[in-house]
Amino acid sequence: MLGLRSVMFAVDDVDDSVARLRDHGGEPVGEIAQYEDAYRLCYVRGPAGIIVALAEPLG
C-alpha cells in the first residue's frame, strides 16, 4: 500500500474549524469526542472524500 494513510491536525478550536470546513464542503464523520481531559477530537470528510482528523489540546 502506497501513499498517506492518515493525518491529524492540531487546531485551537475544533468547533470553529469544523464550521469553517463546512463552508468549503467538509462534513463531520460522527461526533466531536473528548479524550479524557487532554483533547477534543473529530474526523472531517472533505469534498474529495479525504478524511482528516482534528485535535484540540485542552488545558
Residues 45, 18, 32: CA angle, nearest 5 degrees = 85
Phi–psi pair at 20, nearest 5 degrees: -70, -35
What is the structure's pLDDT at 1?
61
pTM to 2 decimals? 0.86
Take residue 1 and report the three cell numbers written for it: 500500500
pLDDT values of the chain reduced to their tens digit, one per residue, 59 residues: 677 778 999 999 999 999 999 999 999 999 999 999 999 999 999 988 889 999 999 98
SS3 content of the chain, % helix, strand, coil (to 5): 15, 45, 40
User: Considering just the CA atoms, what is the radius of gyration of the chain in Å?
Assistant: 12
Identify the sign of the CA torsion 3, 9, 53, 58. Answer: positive
What is the structure's pLDDT at 4?
74
